[in-house]
Structure 1
Amino acid sequence: MKTISSIQAFRDFINGGSLVDLGYEGSMFTWSNKQAGINFIRERLDRCLASIQWKQNYPNGSVVHLDDTGSDHRPLLVSSYRGGFKTKRRFRFQERWCDSEEARHNLVAWQKNLSTNLKKNIAELNSKLNAEKDKGAGADTTMIRVLEVKPEDEYEREKRFWKEKARLQWGDKNTKFFHAKFRMRSSKNKLHRLESDSGEVGTNPEQIASIAQQYFKNLFTTSKPKEPTEELEGLTRRVDNNTNRRLTRPVSDQEIKDAVFSINPLVAPGEDGFTAKFYQFFWDTIKRDVLNAVHSFFEGGKMLRAFNHTHICLIPKDSNISKMN
């Protein structure tokens, strides 16, 4: 057995190059001793490492463990491109839009018509700045001062955008770092194959979605529904009349507002694409609609079906996931 000191140089090499394991598809093990019975041994001895820069350049890269025919090792096939599937882009509110006055009045139209390519915006601002400076003595010094400040604002918006995408909760000033974390998270969260309980294998988004939907439908549906009367008969009453009145009293406007502002503003958005940041930032404009909707539910007992819609987002918690369970 090798000692820790004997592989320290290799560890230093990995840490020094900031290399990451690319994961794999296929069998978990890459080597076996080809023996039978209790002497049979399997291990994952072979793996592919890459730098964060490589992951950024090839976000769809993959590693497949091939068959070990004729050898005790499985060949590893590295591909810089894994065929992807185009899906319809969903609307999602972004924190950086809070900086735009135009967004307050017509957010959807602003999203479609206003350029949000920050690098392009910065390049255009720098071009205008240089053009004004080239005028020499005839240059507008006020405009130059304004144009010198605007790129800094754009850089700040870009940093906030990638921080939001990377889902990090602490303040790092390096936009490239947030971009790398987002790319790594996106690659890790991709699911390219899913097998149902019946053995059906899905390899495209529609098939994977169907398998996941059926899994949750079976999980939350009972084939033998019955009234819970018998189970409730033996329970002792714990809520007295005074407590019940406090629990069932109408909710106040302040309670609703406190609930809205207690949500992390950058968490995953709802089915409509809006994060809590939207409701918090534009509260003075939309609060009456929100308050009326909540009061309507508590007082009338009815909720719009769309309020209860959700998305099933499959995020692998381990490598080489192939089944829902």
Structure 2
Amino acid sequence: MERIRRRCGYTNGFDVEADGSKGGLSLAWKKGIQVTIISSSRNHIDSLIKEKQDNKERRFMCFYGNLFPNERCNTWNLLRQLIRIRSHPWIVCGDFNEILYSFKKRGGAPREEKRMEAFHNVLEECQLMDVGFSGLWFTGERGSLPETNIRERLDRGVANAEWTTFRFEAWWLLESTFEKLVMDSWKSLSGPLTDKLEGLKQRIIQWAFQIKKDRKGVKQNLYKQLNRLLEEDRNDENLAEIIDTKIDLNLEIDKDEEHVNDKEGMATIAKNYFQDLFTSRGISNTELILDGVERCITEAINVQLTAEYTVEEICTALKAMGPTKAPGDDGFPAIFFQKCWHIVGKVCIDKAQSAFVSGRLIIDNVLVAYEIMHTLKNKRVGKKKGHMALKLDMSKVYDRVEWEFLRIMMERMGFAQSWGGKEVFIKLVLQAIPTYSMMCFLLSRTLCEEMGSLIARHWWQKGHCRKGIHWYDVDRILRIPLAREEHADMIVWCGEHSGKFIVRSAYKLLQTQTSTTSSTYMQNTTKPFYKQFWELQIPKKIKILVWKVSWNYIPTMANLYQIRVAPNDKCPRCRLCIESLWHIFVECLVSVELWKNLNFNLISQSEPLDFIEWLTWIFSKCREPQRQMLVCGIWVLWMDRNKNLHEGKSYTEKDAANYVRHYLGEIDGLNERKLKNIQENDKWKALAKSTVKINFDAFFDGKNHKSASAIVTRNSNGEIKISKSYLHTMVDTAFDAEAIACYEAVLTGIEMGFTDIIVEGDSKTIINKCMTQSVDKSQVSAYIRNIHREKGKFQAITFHFVPRSAD
């Protein structure tokens, strides 16, 4: 054996002589490893090993299981005795002459369950786990012919928890006893953070081993119960118990995990991953993506980014991490700290504030990278064996960004080629060199002076085509209203008074788009029509119908035939012409007679390109009563057309005209009564003796961004007690001016010592915001917050909306 050892490069060894042609063990080790033999027998060699660079002792045992099944229990008892001698990281390797599962044998008679169960039991009692393998699946083979060939996996390595590499299992967190285990262990452990984590790992491993052992016992009992039930006579009760037992058994089986190591598959995955990672796919049309990009990075944001990390920020970042991403050197992934942060968090922050890896700073990466590249560059020996540097676990956002897209994005944000690109390069790249590399290396004085000169020249350059710093509009910043009390930031939509994005917001955005010349022309020409149309004093049902007509959104025969719903496109009344909008409302004989009886003489006989053009032209030539007559006539014509199509009935020309006149008369009567009611409501009403009414109004000068607030205070008899006016500067919109005036009215009530007031104004939006208790998110939210803050200083305060005529 000594000659064989030396031929293989092993200078040291220990042998157990064979008994004739049976048995025999040999342990060999190279120079530089200290090995102490503890005990030996014909079935084992037990030793302690220690490497020079590591003072930690580990226990290594060579083992040989008895060849005869009836004597194998003696070797299992030997293993049980050896485990009690001392506690070390322990691995047992060798030929056990036994398999753990029936599928690890191919050919021959099936292995007895009792023999495999005995092997299972001894490994569990000794708390030894299979460490896996590489190479051939079967380690023992006999029989040269196919029908007599038997292959088995008899050789293996098993180790205790201290030997195996710690790997955190996510299923541990699902166990009800896990958190209590961590809490009790953390309180009882002492020493540095690394020692406490190491101790916690050992206790978790022992706990997990016991959990698995208990699960195995449960599964064995379920198997026995299932076999017993299958042997009994079948009946409803028996079938129900079999089903329940199988469900419980499947649940227990699902809790176990199998791990398969496929080196070729893993190599293919790694190759494809990095090949995909560093391959550019180019960029498509970015106009739609970057159309709304504006300059958004401010100095205030940079101040926040460079501030010291707080405990809350660390907790937020921890919760945002992938729970089962690659763990650190301590073996614990993010999910452990996420679930147990209330137990271990304070110690982790106190002991590892600079970096979460013990004994390491972030800037160490610079040193490591330089050292690796220096070694590779200066390698001069070893022609057959080379080295390579591989970037692992660093798939960050910048690996996935196309640099051309980033350049276009920077331009949209305001970084022009002659200014922005240089600014970003100077500040974000060159100034990053002192932040990291200069903490490790000394840059030359010339390089530092050149960088400083480059920054100074660019920031303060002036002259033709030479732009320095673009200072932001200070007045615009000063016009931003601020509440008197601090509150949390919120996301608001500036395009709506409510601060919320709604369907109308999207419609407004679409209206502002000027993608084509024709769409711009349509918006400019139809805008006056729609403004006059929606201001008409007619019922909404008529407005909605005419709006649909203006966009050709009604089911005419021409439209139905185009989408293959109607068999033809002819008019159902005259059955001669195509039923288009022009035919229904202008050209058809029924329409001609209606407009003649209404004395509406502005109907043109030449068909325009678009019906909306005709409506726009008519509205531009008419006054409001004629506009009302036109839209009501369109409504009656469409109603008469549907009545004729579906019921076979129709108005005569005179009846249709009389219906329009009668309907308009009713609308005028309703409007007169409504105006009369408003005028009655506008009259002064007596108040309670202790109540004071404060009216406010605002004037806004948009050119100079100034506003004026007018305040009038009346007592219960309507007598004016106080009238005031205020001037305000740095006011952004008329909406802000109304909110400021309302706030001044509330402050006036406080200054005068009133306890019961009614605040009235003609801005319905501001009044509604003052009455609601929900958090306001509009551009005037600062003023509304101030108003709600001051409401508590009154015994009673109400807000009323009144029309401008009564204010």
> Same fold, TM exceeding 0.5?
no
Greater strand share, structure number = 2
What TM-score, normalized to structure 2? 0.17
Structure having greater relative contact order (Cα 8 Å, sep ≥ 6): 1
**Higher radius of gyration, 1 or 2:** 2
